[in-house]
Amino acid sequence: MKYLFLVTLLFSVTLSGLSQTNIKCTSTDAESVMKGDFKPSDFDTSGTAMNKQELIDYIQSGINSDSLKEYIIKLSTFKTRHTSSDTVSTDTGIGAARRWAHSKFQSFVPGSNNRLLPAYLQFNQDICGVMQHRNTIAVLPGTDGNLKDIILVEGHMDSRCDGRCDIDCQAEGVEDNATGSALVLELCRVLSQKSFKRTIVFMLTIGEEQGLLGANAFAQYSIDNDIDVRAVFNNDVIGGIICGASSSPPSCPGENMIDSTQVRIFSFGGFNSQWKQLARFSKLQYSEELFPKVKVPMMISIMSAEDRTGRGGDHIPFRRKGISSIRFTSSHEHGDASNGPGYKDRQHTSDDILGVDTDNDKVIDSFFVDFNYLARNTRINATSIVMAANGPVSPSVDLDMRWGRNLLIEVNDAEIAPRYRIALRSNTNDWDTLYTVLGKRNMDIWIKPDVNQIASVAAMDKDGIESLFTGERSFQTAGTKEQVSEKKDLVLMANKPNPFDEATIISIDLKNAISYEEAYIAIQDISGKLIKKIPVKLKPGLNEVLYEHGYGVKGVYMYSLIVDGKALQSERMIFAN
Ligand SMILES: [Zn+2]
């Protein structure tokens, strides 16, 4: 509870007054590249291009758990990486940590044919009494001068204890978030040796723990400088596999339980959300490209909510500015960072350390993070990043239904892609079916009859790489000929996903605009007791409401659409958690 209050307070403080000024990149070359204001031929890319299959093999063998371990051990030595800690010392505090990260980026420059451009993104803001702050970045120039949009992968480097401005406590911040920082460094090392059509930016932020401030600075910087950010992959708490006693829901089932084969993607929105579309794109790249080649298969869970209950991350400032962004987080984490009475987990305490020395030889031999698990998550990120960096531009299409059974796709672009992918889903956050069709001006696919289908489209190039998918359209398909005639005026749909992960999305499909005074979704328990009223603005098309139920409350519940005091339709939902 205390933490929830704190988070709310911090976000409101951040939003209300503490403005960020003088946001700038310390390297004019790096800035020009991010703005797309450069000549790709000025950079030597000889021997660096690879096709899709070569890239996947390269990612598989190139990303190394020993490198990740080495970075994490080093990051744990600075005692604290609090945003406002010492910047002068050579071995303690955020300054030393940041200079080390910059020197790591610098060490990758020769392997990139001198193309990689390390820099800082600097901004002024009063954070715990310190005015000037720096994210550490490295920019890998793209090879296609026509594609100005960039791909960003990031993790926050700062750490904290319970006190927001406690700069003296030991905060090694290993799980949160040396793991995400190491992932970014390793991606930079491996990917900077190859070349991609779009520019890729690798970033370690600061100020995350005081309100996502470093990420906000970059998001604002990109807007101020007309930098077109195509996709943001945020990694935060990404290497731990051990469940604590108090992890924030939705999370792991019980203390000390282990899961090293699942990772969660958090993203904003439901129907027609560019953020969920990016999450699905990432999962698709893993399932189709990397999965067939791995020894240890990973399960990727696309979560309904934007983050765990009461928590936030660096993907959020980008979302607020309309930029596609997602967060990767371990399935199991050690704590909810609440720090309340009796809190014994590691997150946001001095106990978020490397591990323990089990045989008393003064060397840690049992680690709290799993470097192989982190390596698998790094490869999942890498696959998404290289596909997003090399893929074609998203198509412009019109979608329509014919006879209640056939989905018609009309391409508006001047050029027709070699192939298109058509993604369909019904009751889950995941796509149910993906069609690959030969590119034509007009395409036509038969859809399995179902109550509701949600469709989107991507272009595919001759190397078999998809673009990001378009926005979604919702359709009612017909089960029988009799049903073909008319779409119902109003349908309260099954909540999705179901069973679900603590939060669920309730949708209302409305045919025509209606006038009303007040509309809301009423959640009731089985005895009819009202649990929650969620106001809804009804407009033609698919209307969605996110309902956060909380964790550990089992049972059957009802949800009803109430318009001007009248219950129009009701449905049942089951909470299994
Ligand atoms: Zn974190």
CA of 216 to the centre of ligand 1 (A): 15
CA of 190 to the centre of ligand 1 (A): 24
CA of 161 to the centre of ligand 1 (A): 12
| Ramachandran angles phi, psi of 403, nearest 5° | 60, 20
The model carries a pTM of 0.87
Neighbours of ion ligand 1 (CB under 5 A): 176-177, 236
Give every CB contact of residue 409 below 8 A, 6+ residues apart in sequence. 397, 398, 399, 420, 422, 442, 443, 444, 445, 457
CA of 424 to the centre of ligand 1 (A): 33
Burial class of residue 92 in the structure, from the number of CB atoms within 10 Å of its CB (0-12 exposed, 13-18 middle, 19+ buried): middle
* Radius of gyration of the CA atoms of the chain, in A: 24
CA of 337 to the centre of ligand 1 (A): 10
Region of residue 159 (left: phi > 0; alpha: psi -120 to 50; beta: else): beta
The answer to whether 44 touches 113, Cβ cutoff 8 Å, is: yes
CA of 235 to the centre of ligand 1 (A): 8
Report which of 491, 374, 541, 507 is spatially closest to residue 429, judged by C-alpha positions: 507
CA-to-CA separations, 317 to 19, 159, 270, in angstroms, rounded: 14, 19, 18
Burial class of residue 164 in the structure, from the number of CB atoms within 10 Å of its CB (0-12 exposed, 13-18 middle, 19+ buried): middle
CA of 278 to the centre of ligand 1 (A): 21
CA of 313 to the centre of ligand 1 (A): 7
CA of 145 to the centre of ligand 1 (A): 35
CA of 237 to the centre of ligand 1 (A): 6
Residue 14: its pLDDT value, please?
A: 46
Please give the full DSSP string across 432-476, using - where no structure is assigned: SEEEEEE--SEEEEE----S-EEEEEEEE-TTSPBPPP---EEEP
CA of 247 to the centre of ligand 1 (A): 13
Please give the full DSSP string across 298-359, using - where no structure is assigned: -EEEE-SSSSSTT---THHHHHHTT--EEEEEESS-S--S---TT---STTSTT--SEE-TT
CA of 335 to the centre of ligand 1 (A): 12
CA of 176 to the centre of ligand 1 (A): 5
CA of 479 to the centre of ligand 1 (A): 47
CA of 76 to the centre of ligand 1 (A): 15
Query: What is the token pair recorded at 546?
Result: 């996110």
| 557 alpha-carbon distance from chain centroid | 30
The answer to whether 559 touches 571, Cβ cutoff 8 Å, is: yes
The answer to whether 141 touches 191, Cβ cutoff 8 Å, is: no
CA atoms within 13 A on the CB side of 559: 25
CA of 241 to the centre of ligand 1 (A): 15
| Ramachandran angles phi, psi of 524, nearest 5° | -125, 150
Query: What is the token pair recorded at 237?
Result: 């708490």
CA of 33 to the centre of ligand 1 (A): 29
CA of 258 to the centre of ligand 1 (A): 20
CA of 526 to the centre of ligand 1 (A): 38
Q: In this structure, are strands 299-302 and 262-266 parallel, antiparallel, or unpaired?
A: parallel
CA of 188 to the centre of ligand 1 (A): 20
CA of 175 to the centre of ligand 1 (A): 8
CA of 570 to the centre of ligand 1 (A): 39
3-state secondary structure at position 254: coil
CA of 227 to the centre of ligand 1 (A): 26
Residue 576: its pLDDT value, please?
A: 64
CA of 90 to the centre of ligand 1 (A): 24
CA of 344 to the centre of ligand 1 (A): 18
Residue 510: its pLDDT value, please?
A: 84
CA of 513 to the centre of ligand 1 (A): 43
CA of 540 to the centre of ligand 1 (A): 39
Place of tokens 């329509």: 400
CA of 156 to the centre of ligand 1 (A): 7
The answer to whether 408 touches 397, Cβ cutoff 8 Å, is: no
Q: pLDDT tens digits for the chain (577 residues)? A: 344 444 444 444 444 345 999 999 999 999 999 999 999 999 999 999 999 999 999 999 999 999 999 999 999 999 999 999 999 999 999 999 999 999 999 999 999 999 999 999 999 999 999 999 999 999 999 999 999 999 999 999 999 999 999 999 999 999 999 999 999 999 999 999 999 999 999 999 999 999 999 999 999 999 999 999 999 999 999 999 999 999 888 878 899 999 999 999 999 998 889 999 999 999 999 999 999 999 999 999 999 999 998 899 999 999 999 999 999 999 999 999 988 889 999 999 999 999 999 999 999 999 999 999 999 999 999 999 999 999 999 999 999 988 778 899 999 999 999 999 999 998 789 999 999 999 999 999 988 776 678 999 999 999 999 999 999 998 877 653 334 334 568 888 877 766 556 678 888 888 888 888 899 999 888 788 888 899 999 888 888 888 877 666 677 888 889 888 888 888 887 776 5
CA of 352 to the centre of ligand 1 (A): 11
Residue 478: its pLDDT value, please?
A: 63
CA of 214 to the centre of ligand 1 (A): 13
Burial class of residue 26 in the structure, from the number of CB atoms within 10 Å of its CB (0-12 exposed, 13-18 middle, 19+ buried): middle
